[in-house]
Amino acid sequence: MAAVQGGLIDTEEEKDIKTEPANDGCGNNNNNNTANDGRLLNASPGSISSGGSNKPATGALEDQQTLLAVLQFLKKNNLSESVEILRREAGLSEDTEDSKGLDSSGAGSGGAAGNVDSESGDANSLLSRVSVSSSAVSASAVQAPSKAGAGEDQPDVNVVLSAYSQQGDPALYDVYYSSLKKFIESVLDCHRAELSQVFYPLFVHMYLELVYNNHENEAKAFFEKFSGDQECYYEDDLRVLSGMTKKEHMRGNETLLDFRTSKFVLRISRDSYQLLKRHLQERQNNQIWNIIQEHLYIDIFDGMPRSKSQIDAMSGSLAGEAKREANKAKVFYGLLKEPEIEVPLDDEDEEAENEEGKPKKKKPKKDSMGSKSKKQDPNAPSQNRIPLPELKDSDKLDKIMYMKEATKRIRLGPDTLPSICFYSFLNAYQGLTAVDVTDDSSLIAGGFADSTVRVWSVTPKKLRKVKSAADLSLIDKESDDVLERIMDEKTASESKILYGHSGPVYGISFSPDRNYLLSSSEDGTVRLWSLQTFTCLVGYKGHNYPVWDTQFSPYGYYFVSGGHDRVARLWATDHYQPLRMFSGHLADITCTRFHPNSNYVATGSSDRTIRLWDVLNGNCVRIFTGHKGPIHALAFSPNGKFLASGATDGRVLLWDIGHGLMIGELKGHTDTIYSLKFSRDGEILASGSMDNTVRLWDAMKAFDDLETDDFTAATGHIHLPENSQELLLGTYMSKSTPVVHLHFTRRNLLLAAGAYNP
């Protein structure tokens, strides 16, 4: 099963990664880190691999089946060493907890997986078919151009599906399900809500069993009879299921593989679980009991059963809730210490780079604490946890500019709402698909469905190209204004068009230094453009499927991309191979965001979960469930503590990263939320949506209310206050212009962008 995910990173790549920090060229890293990096990287696939086989009791059966299939294959190919390693790993992983933070146990196995790959690319691709993330992942990893061919998958899918082959009388499924339903409806109220969670996964698996065993009519009847009972937020999945009425359809169907290979996670209190268990055993209802044993992961907790609203808040994802262990790893959510740059008192004198100077003014919180900012935030990762590029002189100048602007920043709050300036894209017949604004708000870039990327300058300063090489050689390199002279005045214009993609551009991101622009497209590539020459510099190939989103790290150099192949990749601009691959999502990765400290990456997905990944070792450190639709927008709060996410269901959810908890729900939008942004001080959260509105929310209040609660006491079962209306500070309707992007300028003016759609 998931064991194979180690195979995601083939050897060639691995070498690449191991050597990466050394030839990073961004200095500032130490050898210590390099070693660390390598080890942890290896750990990552291993620990993910153990992810699937985490539950010793319930998972053993199915794991064994998968492993047997794998072992058989390896033997057939005389890969005895791998067989041995795999065996050992299987033994190990059974008592390994799912938590991906457990690096050490994974270390060995990761290496093992790596070995497997080195010996056989075939094996790799084969294995991955069986894996959670299906063939797409491995295909891209080994660069095998296999596009999820159903026929190829056949043998392996059969292995996976074999669990379904056990026969029961198809006519009785109906009876089983009904009797369980009757039972659950008759239990005490406090247990009913919890036990009702069982309905959906049971329904799905029973239906699939019927379909797999060619009981088409029974399956249809079963579906018709009980699909109406399921929670409305599963409607999308049910639609997929309803189309699937034949065994042949199950081949190569990703949704099915998701259901089958990943256990549906339920959180149930011990009392409720006992109740269910007793009932099933009394009734000798083995059919259902087997399904629960094999396909469900029941996370039992001690304490009060949860209420219906509590359950509803957390459920909705493709594979149930996150296991509690999945969110236990420590996350260093604090901010990195800013390099100290003296702000010259004299505005003209920007040369000074003395080390002792004013403390950095990045966050007002620190601001108020003054000298404290010099101390390391206990929650912050060490400064060199991941190697960051060294600051260039121009970066320092920019920081100084930033600080100057920051002093003029408006302090926002419920009484002082930001002004909103709306940039409408007119005549965008091609369809505007992505927008980004530079941090200093001087440039706006738009990605269009006609494969173009357009860059506008919104300041009087026009966009100019660098002169051609021949002309450049004539320039006096010693002159003071050499940077001015290299620009070709003839090419000055307000906007530039970048041609290169061969499909709609879905993601776009400026580098922090404004020299580069990234764009990701339906054609499966991410392109890096120079904003000096306005040409394409690199095309990063790796995703073979549409790349839905990409973003630069706040410190530049690194960037992350995620797409239809369910894998998020971390790249460095000077490597054409990804440095990290984050796999685990069960459906398309729809959006990717860097944590402000650049040590973590958040990804939102169509499987309705959000995952937070550690850039250092590739581990998944947080899984957030609760959205009821694909997630299209993510935003970190400026202090790095919180995450906001918006989805097609029109809700914004707020998450506490440190505790791994949902802490708020903002209802109000009536359509997909495409953009979220915190104000520079984190006081206001702005959300922009397909419903043509920009809404402002009181983020301070939303977070304050919760900080008074005692998180640790609760088992993570947060009771969400219904206070969306109180938190909503303003709704601003645009004229039939969906809001695609939001950006706070350094002075806290809110910029919104969208295409006017008359």
Partner 1 sequence: MAEERRQKQCSVVLPTESMKAMAESVGVGQLQEESCVALSEEVSYRIKEIAQDALKFMHHGKRRKLTTSDIDNALKLKNVEPLYGFQSQEFIPFRFASGGGRELHFYEEKEVDLSDIINTPLPRVPLDVSLKAHWLSIEGVQPAIPENPPPAPKEQQKTESTEPLKLVKPGQEEESTIQGKNQGATAADGKGQYLKGLMRLKPRSTHELSVEQQLYYKEITEACVGSCEAKRAEALQSIATDPGLYQMLPRFSTFISEGVRVNVVQNNLALLIYLMRMVKALMDNPTLYLEKYLHELIPAVVTCIVSKQLCLRPDVDNHWALRDFAARLMAQSCKTFSTTTNNIQSRITKTFTKSWLDDKTQWTTRYGCIAGLSELGPDVIKTLILPRLAVEGARIKAVMEGPVVSNIDKIGADHVQSLLLKHCASVIAKTRPLPDNVEQYRTDYGYLGPMLCSHVVKARTQAALQAQQVNRTTLTITQPRPTLSVSQSGLSGSGGPRTPSIIKVPSSLTLMSPRPGTPSQPSPPATKYIVMATSAGAASTQQRAALLDWPCTDVSPGDTLEKCYYTILIINSIKPMVNVVLAKFI
Q: Which of residues 707-726 bind partner 1 (CB under 8 A)?
A: 725
* Cβ-contact 437, 739 below 8 angstroms: no
- Cα(731)–Cα(686) distance, rounded to whole angstroms? 10
Residue closer to partner 1, measured from CB, 361 or 564? 564
Minimum distance, C-beta of residue 147 to partner 1, in the bound complex (Å): 4
Give, as ranges, the residues between 551 and 610 that touch partner 1 (CB under 8 A).
564, 588, 590, 606
Contacts with partner 1, 519-538, as mask; x by CB under 8 A: ---x----------------
Minimum distance, C-beta of residue 249 to partner 1, in the bound complex (Å): 5
Contacts with partner 1, 217-236, as mask; x by CB under 8 A: ---x--xx--xx---x--x-
Give, as ranges, the residues between 120 and 159 that touch partner 1 (CB under 8 A).
147-149
The side-by-side arrangement of strands in the sheet containing 661-667 is 631-636, 642-647, 651-656, 661-667
Q: Report DSSP letters for 295-324, one per residue.
A: HEEEEEE-SSPPPHHHHHHH--STTBSPPG
- Cα(99)–Cα(622) distance, rounded to whole angstroms? 10
The gap from C-alpha 20 to its chain's centroid, in whole angstroms, comes to 23
- Cα(159)–Cα(456) distance, rounded to whole angstroms? 54
- Interface with partner 1 by CB under 8 A: which range of 104-112, 307-315, 426-434, 476-484? 426-434
Minimum distance, C-beta of residue 219 to partner 1, in the bound complex (Å): 10
Give, as ranges, the residues between 158 and 187 that touch partner 1 (CB under 8 A).
none
Q: Find where tokens 């097609």 sit.
A: 648
Structure-token pair, residue 649: 């269901």
The amino acid at residue 402 is Y
- Cα(543)–Cα(570) distance, rounded to whole angstroms? 12
Under rule CB under 8 A, residue 59 binds partner 1: no
Minimum distance, C-beta of residue 236 to partner 1, in the bound complex (Å): 8
Structure-token pair, residue 51: 């992810």
Give, as ranges, the residues between 313 and 372 that touch partner 1 (CB under 8 A).
none
Minimum distance, C-beta of residue 180 to partner 1, in the bound complex (Å): 20
Q: Which of 448, 516, 703, 744 binds partner 1 (CB under 8 A)?
A: 448
Under rule CB under 8 A, residue 630 binds partner 1: yes
Residue closer to partner 1, measured from CB, 56 or 243? 243
Instruction: Mention every residue, 6+ apart, whose C-beta is less than 8 A from residue 360.
Output: 337, 338, 339, 340, 341, 366, 373, 403
Question: Which residues is 528 bridged to in the sheet?
Answer: 518, 538
Minimum distance, C-beta of residue 748 to partner 1, in the bound complex (Å): 11
- Size of interface with partner 1, in residues (CB under 8 A): 79
The amino acid at residue 610 is I
Residue closer to partner 1, measured from CB, 78 or 459? 459
Residue closer to partner 1, measured from CB, 24 or 523? 523
* Cβ-contact 673, 686 below 8 angstroms: no
Helices (H), 427-497: 469-472, 482-485
Minimum distance, C-beta of residue 318 to partner 1, in the bound complex (Å): 14
Give, as ranges, the residues between 3 and 22 that touch partner 1 (CB under 8 A).
none
Give, as ranges, the residues between 491 and 510 that touch partner 1 (CB under 8 A).
495, 503-504, 506
**What backbone torsions phi and psi does residue 262 show, to the nearest 5 degrees?**
-110, 135
Minimum distance, C-beta of residue 13 to partner 1, in the bound complex (Å): 24
Q: Which of 261, 317, 327, 648 binds partner 1 (CB under 8 A)?
A: 648
Is beta strand 673-678 parallel, antiparallel or unpaired with respect to 684-689?
antiparallel
Q: Which of 51, 546, 584, 604 binds partner 1 (CB under 8 A)?
A: 546
List the one residue out of 505, 499, 497, 551 whose CA is nearest residue 524. 505
Minimum distance, C-beta of residue 554 to partner 1, in the bound complex (Å): 24
Minimum distance, C-beta of residue 419 to partner 1, in the bound complex (Å): 5
Q: Which of 195, 335, 602, 729 binds partner 1 (CB under 8 A)?
A: 729
Give, as ranges, the residues between 396 and 425 that touch partner 1 (CB under 8 A).
416-425
The amino acid at residue 708 is T
Give, as ranges, the residues between 672 and 691 that touch partner 1 (CB under 8 A).
672, 674, 690
Structure-token pair, residue 193: 């809500």
* Cβ-contact 39, 107 below 8 angstroms: yes
Helices (H), 647-698: none
Residue closer to partner 1, measured from CB, 232 or 713? 232
Give, as ranges, the residues between 234 and 253 that touch partner 1 (CB under 8 A).
235, 238-240, 242-246, 248-249, 253
- Cα(216)–Cα(228) distance, rounded to whole angstroms? 19
- Cα(674)–Cα(687) distance, rounded to whole angstroms? 8
Minimum distance, C-beta of residue 431 to partner 1, in the bound complex (Å): 6
How far, in Å, are 72, 620, 701 from residue 2 at the CA level? 17, 14, 41
- Cα(645)–Cα(591) distance, rounded to whole angstroms? 10
Contacts with partner 1, 83-122, as mask; x by CB under 8 A: ----------------------------------------
List the one residue out of 92, 4, 116, 102 whose CA is nearest residue 52. 4
Element (H, E) at 457: strand 453-457
Residue closer to partner 1, measured from CB, 241 or 661? 241
Residue closer to partner 1, measured from CB, 454 or 608? 454
- Interface with partner 1 by CB under 8 A: which range of 51-59, 197-205, 374-382, 452-460? 452-460
Residue closer to partner 1, measured from CB, 345 or 426? 426
Q: How many residues does the chain have?
A: 758
- Interface with partner 1 by CB under 8 A: which range of 53-61, 362-370, 666-674, 705-713? 666-674
Minimum distance, C-beta of residue 578 to partner 1, in the bound complex (Å): 21
Give, as ranges, the residues between 453 and 492 that touch partner 1 (CB under 8 A).
454, 456, 458
List the one residue out of 740, 694, 749 whose CA is nearest residue 424. 740
**E-only strand ranges, 74-162:** none
End-to-end, the C-alpha distance of the chain in Å comes to 50
Minimum distance, C-beta of residue 524 to partner 1, in the bound complex (Å): 10
Residue closer to partner 1, measured from CB, 46 or 546? 546
Under rule CB under 8 A, residue 731 binds partner 1: yes
List the one residue out of 401, 463, 461, 458 whose CA is nearest residue 435. 458
Structure-token pair, residue 180: 């369980």
Q: Which of 73, 548, 558, 697 binds partner 1 (CB under 8 A)?
A: 548
- Interface with partner 1 by CB under 8 A: which range of 11-19, 392-400, 441-449, 706-714? 441-449
Residue closer to partner 1, measured from CB, 417 or 466? 417
Look at the alpha carbons of 192, 197, 203, 209 in this order and tell me if their dihedral is positive or negative.
negative
Minimum distance, C-beta of residue 161 to partner 1, in the bound complex (Å): 17
